[in-house]
Structure 1
């Protein structure tokens, strides 16, 4: 399986290769996966007070934030009461951004950039995303499903690993982009998924909301017990390797069956 790796906000392909390195090396050692790394198109400076947090520069985002940003609002999620459920937390967060008129154009461009990267890498059939990259990857899965239904274009992404992610986004009205939440949209991600997060993550609600919109019979989760990070310690990497040692071959086998069924159907239609 070949993964396209999407880093978080204020990341880069180079830095994400380091962050993901222990897990990627473990999966490659087991013969389960290979990886290609991407990054956003927009070079950015880290937020004030976070200059040393995100690693070596240059840093990038998938989202063009020259016309506005919600980083300050995002930090408010850290202070929400633990009693509020994931969907209500996301709705409350979205309320802070009402009135902004730049989101739809920015989101179309970000999805288009990642879709282009996938087109340029024909062997990619899976995605692994962290934070902003996970939100983008989740949205891409939904976009591919919609496009396949409308145009018949085959879907490329057959498996997704989301690390500290957030639910996929959709357009609303003329300007807004909002999260797809299970109590509003139902299940919107139908491919097999693996959700990695930590119970000490200040943004845990986003990861839970993403898990909730994923098909429950095809999804699994893993709590590494830490914060908003890509787990790199030996014990977590070993356990993740063991889980994916089971998951990835099962996904690949199901993909072969599905492709065989489609081929047989096409032959019957032609004959």
Structure 2
């Protein structure tokens, strides 16, 4: 499968490429490919990466309590890349990138229900809460309805400050189509052999479900 990859806030596509190197090594051996894009909004680098990696750095939309129209602009930026460089079978997002991917999937399903989904599978790693298109409120569940109906792989970290948000994102996914793994660590993509193997397993499990339809 071919994946579009969305980085976290205050980083860039090259950094996500490095962060996911262990995962991709195994997945690429199985024939999967990954394309990395940058957000459109210039940003200050994440504090722990300052002086360690080169910029420029980006957000997909402004951080904070209400990114407003920036969410819709991020939708258009991402859809333009899909139109020019796609199609993509799947999407992989880390942190803000996972939130953007989820928001985009939900909005597409809501506004164009008769169209095929944007992706067959989504991989959310340490994801933040997704936003409604207006950028003023987060997506919330309505009863038993799960607004993300495609196959997903949900990877979270128990020590991650965004862990509660990652779990909220997981709760938005159709349970029968959602694979899950808690790597038990912080806001990161672990690179040790055990966690890498387990993350690859849940991603391949999700890919398998998507292929079977």
Residue in structure 2 matched with residue 157 of structure 1 by the alignment: 119
Give me the whole-angstrom Cα distance separating, in 2, the residues matched to 1:246 and 1:45: 36
Residue in structure 2 matched with residue 82 of structure 1 by the alignment: none
How many pairs does the alignment contain? Answer: 213
Kept in 2, the 8 Å contact 1:46–1:54? The answer is no
Tell me by how many angstroms 1:252 deviates. Answer: 1.1
Helix, strand or coil for the counterpart of 1:243? helix
Tell me by how many angstroms 1:182 deviates. Answer: 2.4
Q: Which of 128, 131, 137 pairs up with 1:166?
A: 128
Give me the whole-angstrom Cα distance separating, in 2, the residues matched to 1:61 and 1:38: 11
Tell me by how many angstroms 1:34 deviates. Answer: 0.8
Kept in 2, the 8 Å contact 1:195–1:220? The answer is yes
- Name structure 2 gaps, 5 residues minimum: none
Residue in structure 2 matched with residue 8 of structure 1 by the alignment: 8
CA offset digits 1:45-98 (Å, max 9, x no partner): 236x656287332111111x4xxx42xxxxxxxxxxxxxxxxxxxxxxxxxx4x
Helix, strand or coil for the counterpart of 1:166? coil
Q: Which of 57, 60, 63 pairs up with 2:58?
A: 60
What TM-score results when the alignment is normalised by the length of structure 2? 0.90
Give me the whole-angstrom Cα distance separating, in 2, the residues matched to 1:188 and 1:131: 19
Kept in 1, the 8 Å contact 2:40–2:58? The answer is yes
**Aligned runs of 1:83-98 on 2, under 5 Å?**
97=65
What TM-score results when the alignment is normalised by the length of structure 1? 0.72
Residue in structure 1 matched with residue 19 of structure 2 by the alignment: 19
Compared with structure 1, are the counterparts of its residues 53 and 146 closer, same or farther at alpha carbon in structure 2 (3 Å cutoff)?
A: farther
- Mapped pair 1:198 → 2:157: yes
Give me the whole-angstrom Cα distance separating, in 1, the residues matched to 2:15 and 2:79: 22
Kept in 2, the 8 Å contact 1:40–1:60? The answer is yes
Residue in structure 2 matched with residue 40 of structure 1 by the alignment: 39
Q: Which of 162, 170, 173 pairs up with 1:211?
A: 170
Compared with structure 1, are the counterparts of its residues 182 and 153 closer, same or farther at alpha carbon in structure 2 (3 Å cutoff)?
A: closer
Residue in structure 2 matched with residue 269 of structure 1 by the alignment: none
Kept in 2, the 8 Å contact 1:42–1:62? The answer is yes
